[in-house]
């Protein structure tokens, strides 16, 4: 295991989900289930989007956004990265990551604020 | 029951026509419904999607629908997009401007991907820049996935599109026959009195999601809206009696429609790039 942590592990999305369409939460969960244990061990992980032609937020929320509920931002920044994403997909990923940080930092407060705004129960 | 359907275009009146049909037919069980289109003088082909969704709910209640009196040009259009083939009309050659009417189950994400791969090329592509085309395809998928995740539509998702090469415009519609955005938001917020307008407004705000648990959400609809705004296209969302149009704002229909309908109008002359040069893998996390 010591040697393993010296190198980065490349997780290829296509190999995990078996399709060029990264469009479902369930497929995103499959990718999360591959990378979260590695990050938990302190392993560097690179997620490769080679051969993936369509990516949407539901997939990214499950595969990457969810990491912010499990790991500190610093740890994710140190250990995790992506490659072979188009500029448009990187822009979407940035939205997902920014939203995930807010979601996990303030979830309880956000939910209550929305309910207050909508006049629902306290 | 015999019902004369009015014109069905991509506007408030078009949705009112469909809502009127639904208000009259919603309570029918195991009855014949004759849908008479003899006074329907204009029908935007993509609107076959919400009509198909409403008729699917009506059929699910064991009613039998017959469509009659269809005027020539409309019959031609609705046979070309294969909507009328479900009602005994022979199909016509689709040509190069049609994205056919099709019904998907919620588990058919990959089949929907194949549908787009097969029918989107040539409908404004490749004039649309690669980036714009990619973001448009993503936006469509965001809506489809939204239906998968939230609609609870046992009858599936209904899609249809029409490309207008001379106007450089592509209309594409996704409808489901499920619970509807408004009811979903009301249940999540615990406020049954929330108006359809307020519910749609809530759902469209960035970061808002009815999802609970460990997966964040609330990015997709905002992403889609930002694309349409930048593309100078339009979008309409109908849920319950609420109608939102990106260029017309919020409005209330006289009666409700089942499920949720999202209508895209895309400007296919768009040659912008859709990325931010300041965003790279090094500064995302």
pLDDT, tens digit (0-9, with 9 covering 90-100), for B253-268: 999 999 999 999 999 9
Alpha-carbon gap: B284 to the closest alpha carbon of chain A (Å): 5
- Interface check for A103 against chain B (CB to CB < 8 A): the answer is yes
| pLDDT for residue B131 | 82
Which of A25-39, B134-148, B260-274 has maximum average pLDDT?
A25-39
The values of phi and psi at residue B267, to 5°, are: -85, 105
Pick the CATH number of B2-283 from 3.20.20.70, 3.40.140.10, 3.10.129.10, 3.30.565.10: 3.30.565.10
Using an 8 Å Cβ cutoff, are B243 and B15 in contact?
A: yes
- pLDDT tier, A122 (very low <50, low <70, confident <90, very high otherwise): very low
Of B190, B215, B280, the CB nearest to A120: B190
Rounded distance between C-alpha atoms, residue A49 and residue A99, angstroms: 21
| pLDDT for residue B214 | 81
Long-range pairs, B92-97, Cβ under 8 A, ≥24: B96/B122, B96/B163, B97/B123, B97/B162, B97/B163, B97/B164, B97/B165
Rounded distance between C-alpha atoms, residue B33 and residue B20, angstroms: 14
The widest CA-to-CA distance across chain A, in whole angstroms, is 56
Residue A52 has pLDDT above 70, yes or no: yes
Rounded distance between C-alpha atoms, residue A14 and residue A11, angstroms: 9
Residue A1 has pLDDT above 50, yes or no: no
Which B residues in the span 83-102 are in contact with A, Cβ-Cβ below 8 Å? none
Q: In this prediction, what percent of chain B has a pLDDT beyond 70?
A: 99
**Taking the domains of chain B in order of start, what are their residue ranges?**
2-283
- List CB contacts (< 8 A) between B182 and chain A: none
A to B CB pairs, distance under 8 Å: 136
User: DSSP per residue over A20-76, as a string?
Assistant: SEE--HHHHHHHHHHHHHHHHTT-EEEEE-TT--EE-HHHHHHHTGGGGGTS-HHHH
The 3-state secondary structure of B196-246 reads HHHHHHHHHCCCCCCCCCCCCCCCHHHHHHHHHHHHCCEEEEEEEEEEEEC
User: Residue A15 belongs to what domain range?
Assistant: 4-118
Which A residues in the span 10-49 are in contact with B, Cβ-Cβ below 8 Å? 19, 21, 23-25, 28-29
- List CB contacts (< 8 A) between B215 and chain A: 25, 28-29, 61-62, 65-66
Is the Cβ pair B279, A82 closer than 8 Å? no
Domain count, chain A: 1
- Interface check for B127 against chain A (CB to CB < 8 A): the answer is no
Using an 8 Å Cβ cutoff, are A27 and A15 in contact?
A: no
| pLDDT for residue B221 | 87
Cα B214 from chain centre: 29
Rounded distance between C-alpha atoms, residue B239 and residue B104, angstroms: 19
Is the Cβ pair B142, A57 closer than 8 Å? yes
Alpha-carbon gap: A21 to the closest alpha carbon of chain B (Å): 7
| pLDDT for residue B277 | 86
| pLDDT tens per residue across span B202-241 | 888 877 888 777 888 888 888 888 999 999 999 999 999 9
Using an 8 Å Cβ cutoff, are B147 and B181 in contact?
A: no
Is the Cβ pair B281, A83 closer than 8 Å? yes
Supply the pTM of this predicted model: 0.90
A15: Cβ contacts below 8 Å, ≥ 6 apart: none
| pLDDT for residue A112 | 63
| pLDDT for residue B204 | 86
| pLDDT tens per residue across span B1-20 | 999 999 999 999 999 999 99
| pLDDT for residue A3 | 44
Of B134, B145, B190, the CB nearest to A121: B190
- pLDDT tier, B32 (very low <50, low <70, confident <90, very high otherwise): very high
**What is the signed CA dihedral for B98, B104, B107, B110, rounded to 10 degrees?**
-20
Is the Cβ pair A102, B207 closer than 8 Å? yes
Mean pLDDT of B140-168: 92
Residues facing B163 on adjacent strands: B170
Rounded distance between C-alpha atoms, residue A61 and residue B218, angstroms: 9
Alpha-carbon gap: B269 to the closest alpha carbon of chain A (Å): 19
Mean pLDDT of B64-88: 96
Of A19, A82, A110, the CB nearest to B281: A82
| pLDDT tens per residue across span B155-190 | 999 999 999 989 999 999 999 999 988 888 998 899
The 3-state secondary structure of chain B reads CEEECCCECCCHHHHHHHHHHHHHHCCCCCCEEEEECCCCCCECHHHHHHHHHHHHHHHHCCCEEEEECCCHHHHHHHHHCCCHHHHCCCCCCCCCCEEEEEEECCCCHHHHHHHHHHHCCCCCCCCCCHHHHHHHHHHHHHHHHHHHHHCCCCCCEEEEEEEECCCCEEEEEEEECCCCHHHHHHHHHCCCCCCHHHHHHHHHCCCCCCCCCCCCCCCHHHHHHHHHHHHCCEEEEEEEEEEEECCCEEEEEEEEEEEEEEEEEEECCCCCCCCCCCCCHHHCC
| pLDDT for residue A2 | 39
Is the Cβ pair B145, A56 closer than 8 Å? yes
What tokens were used for A92? Answer: 């979407």
Mean pLDDT of A103-109: 77
| pLDDT for residue A6 | 59
- List CB contacts (< 8 A) between B190 and chain A: 115, 120-121
Residue B262: closest CA among B139, B197, B174, B171: B174
Is the Cβ pair B279, A90 closer than 8 Å? yes
Is the Cβ pair A99, B216 closer than 8 Å? yes
Using an 8 Å Cβ cutoff, are B28 and B49 in contact?
A: no
Alpha-carbon gap: B218 to the closest alpha carbon of chain A (Å): 8
Of A80, A83, A115, the CB nearest to B285: A80
A113: Cβ contacts below 8 Å, ≥ 6 apart: none
């Amino acid at each position: 295991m010591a040697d393993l942590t010296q190198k980065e592990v490349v997780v290829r999305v296509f190999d995990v989900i078996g399709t060029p369409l990264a469009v479902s939460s369930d497929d995103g969960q499959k990718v999360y289930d591959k990378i979260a244990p590695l990050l938990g061990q302190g392993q560097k992980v690179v997620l490769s989007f080679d051969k993936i032609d369509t990516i949407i937020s539901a997939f990214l929320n499950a595969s990457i956004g969810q990491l912010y509920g499990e790991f500190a931002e610093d740890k994710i920044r140190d250990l995790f990265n992506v490659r072979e994403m188009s500029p448009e997909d990187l822009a979407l990923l940035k939205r997902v990551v920014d939203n995930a940080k807010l979601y996990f930092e303030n979830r309880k407060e956000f939910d209550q604020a929305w309910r207050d705004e909508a006049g629902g129960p306290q | 029951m015999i019902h004369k359907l009015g014109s069905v275009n991509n506007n408030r009146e078009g949705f009112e026509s469909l809502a009127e049909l639904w208000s009259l037919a919603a309570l029918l069980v195991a009855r014949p419904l004759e849908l008479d289109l003899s006074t329907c003088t204009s029908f935007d082909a993509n609107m076959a999607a919400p009509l198909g969704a409403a008729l699917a709910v009506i059929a699910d209640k064991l009613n039998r629908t017959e469509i009659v009196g269809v005027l020539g040009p409309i019959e031609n259009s609705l046979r070309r997009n294969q909507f009328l083939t479900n009602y005994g009309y022979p199909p016509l050659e689709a040509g190069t401007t049609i994205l056919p009417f099709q019904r998907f189950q919620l588990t058919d994400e990959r089949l929907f991907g194949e549908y787009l791969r097969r029918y989107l090329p040539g409908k404004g592509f490749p004039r649309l820049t690669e980036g714009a085309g990619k973001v448009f395809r993503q936006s469509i998928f965001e809506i489809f996935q939204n239906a998968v995740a939230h609609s609870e539509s046992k009858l599936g998702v209904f899609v249809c599109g029409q490309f207008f090469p001379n106007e450089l415009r592509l209309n594409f519609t996704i409808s489901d026959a499920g619970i509807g955005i408004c009811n979903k938001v009301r249940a999540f917020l615990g406020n049954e009195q929330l108006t359809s307008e307020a519910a749609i407004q809530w759902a469209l705000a960035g970061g808002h999601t009815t999802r609970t648990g460990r997966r964040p959400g609330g990015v997709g609809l905002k992403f889609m809206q930002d694309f349409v705004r930048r593309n100078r296209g339009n979008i309409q969302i109908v849920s319950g009696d609420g109608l939102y149009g990106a260029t017309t704002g919020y409005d209330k229909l006289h009666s409700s429609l089942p499920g949720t309908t999202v209508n895209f109008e895309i400007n296919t002359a768009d040659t912008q790039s859709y990325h931010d040069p300041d965003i790279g893998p090094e500064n995302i996390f």
